[in-house]
Amino acid sequence: MNDLEQLVQDAQAAFALALAPADLENAKARYLGKSGSLTEQLKALATLAPDEKKARGALINAAKQQVEAALTLRRQALADAELDAQLKAEALDVTLPGRQRGCGVLHPVSRTMERIEAIFGSMGFDVAEGPEIETDWYSFTALNNPENHPARSMQDTFYVDMKDAEGRWLNLRPHTSPMQVRYARAHAEKHRGCDPMPEIRVIAPGRTYRVDSDATHSPMFHQCEGLWIGENVSFKDLKVVFTDFFRNFFETDDLQLRFRPSFFPFTEPSAEVDIAFSSGPLKGRWLEVAGSGQVHPNVVRNYGLDPDRYIGFAFGMGPDRLTMLRYGVNDLRLFFDGDLRFLSQFK
Ligand code: PHE
């Protein structure tokens, strides 16, 4: 093998060893660059005699063409490999199923809340929301439940070791009844000078808290307060409103109501409301669904109203319990575990 054949072979081997375009260009420089070995051969022609020059020149040119051909081939091979790798990396399997958009649904208790709001809304009740961190005054004192009175322990309240700006102790509201006072005071303020004052008709749904936990009690639960105050609102109206509400809510007239005497500091007289279905799986069982009563004069006074003139009723019901009854759920805690196997049944 002569020196030019050797050179061609070396160049081909060097190109084959180049695994990336940059390596290949370096290898090219060693043979075809300004001081590459083939270029040096061409420069050396100048020292030869004219007839040798021609023959040698032809040989060098032939070698150069071979080296250039090898370079072109290798360049193409590297470019192809690069494209191949890129295509592989970015490959799309168009046969894979698309990513579905998860579609959530309203929590069953939220559905109940919306239902309650819609039904009472249709009876002319406003919907109000209030703070879950409440002051002692709104949670108890204003509701005719004096400091140190044993009736305060009817509710195992979560007290917060903190006072508000006016020095009133804070608690996690144990019921939505503070909203009676908040709403009525704002209403009385707004209509000061109107005679008579437009009636108060409001419900106040929301979260409430008590130190309590078993299959039918959760430390966080829901209540919906109701209040109707006017010059001539009586227990009869409470009965009509409740009967209407429950028949609407459960979509059946096959349902009876019972008012059972009870005690709440803020109502007098007071009653627990029970319902019983006349058919279905719960047939004939009395189920407690709300507390209620005629608002106590001391509380009406705390609304900023004259109890000799304004009278009415309040009630507090448990939307969690209503949800359990409506959907046949037997453990309240299921609502708050966040288990999708349970929740997705409400789709
Ligand atoms: N707040 C009472 C409770 O939580 C329910 C109630 C509200 C009773 C309004 C009477 C009037 O048990």
Query: Tens of pLDDT along 102-111?
Result: 788 899 999 9
Q: Higher-confidence residue: 306 or 158?
A: 306
| pLDDT, the chain, mean | 93
Tell which phi-psi region holds residue 19, choosing left (phi > 0), alpha (psi between -120 and 50) or beta: alpha
At residue 271, does pLDDT exceed 90? yes
The residue whose two tokens read 């627990």 is 272
Nearest atom within ligand 1 for CA of residue 177: 1
Span 19-25, average pLDDT: 91
The residue whose two tokens read 């000078």 is 193
Task: Give CA–CA dist 189/148, Å, rounded.
Answer: 30
Give the per-residue pLDDT at 315.
98
Give the per-residue pLDDT at 101.
83
Span 16-23, average pLDDT: 92
Query: Which of the listed residues 264, 270, 273 should we mutate to test ligand 1's pocket, taking the one with most ligand atoms within 8 A of CB?
Result: 264
For 188-216, write each residue's pLDDT tens digit.
Answer: 999 999 999 999 999 999 999 999 888 88
Give the per-residue pLDDT at 292.
97
For 56-96, write each residue's pLDDT tens digit.
Answer: 889 999 999 999 999 999 999 999 999 999 999 998 888 98
Give the per-residue pLDDT at 147.
84
Model confidence band, residue 294 (pLDDT cutoffs 50, 70, 90): very high
CA of residue 35 relative to chain centroid, distance = 70
Give the per-residue pLDDT at 65.
93
Span 107-125, average pLDDT: 97
For 135-175, write each residue's pLDDT tens digit.
Answer: 999 999 999 998 888 777 777 888 888 899 989 889 999 99
pTM value > 0.85: no
Nearest atom within ligand 1 for CA of residue 208: 4
Task: State the CB neighbour count (10 A cutoff) for residue 339.
Answer: 10
Give the per-residue pLDDT at 216.
81
Span 34-55, average pLDDT: 88
CA 153 to ligand 1 center in whole angstroms: 14
Task: Give CA–CA dist 111/105, Å, rounded.
Answer: 9
Residues with beta carbon inside 6 Å of ligand 1? 175, 177, 264, 267, 270, 291-293, 314-316
Span 51-58, average pLDDT: 88
Span 270-281, average pLDDT: 94
CA 145 to ligand 1 center in whole angstroms: 12
DSSP 191: T
Model confidence band, residue 329 (pLDDT cutoffs 50, 70, 90): very high
- Least reliable range by pLDDT among 69-78, 111-120, 179-188: 69-78
The radius of gyration of the chain's CA atoms, rounded to the nearest angstrom, is 44
Nearest atom within ligand 1 for CA of residue 290: 5
Nearest atom within ligand 1 for CA of residue 175: 4
Give the per-residue pLDDT at 86.
92
Span 214-238, average pLDDT: 93
- Least reliable range by pLDDT among 31-35, 121-125, 225-229, 311-315: 31-35
Span 292-307, average pLDDT: 98
Give the per-residue pLDDT at 159.
84
H helices of the chain, where?
A: 3-17, 21-32, 37-44, 50-89, 108-122, 136-139, 178-190, 235-249, 297-302, 319-327, 340-343
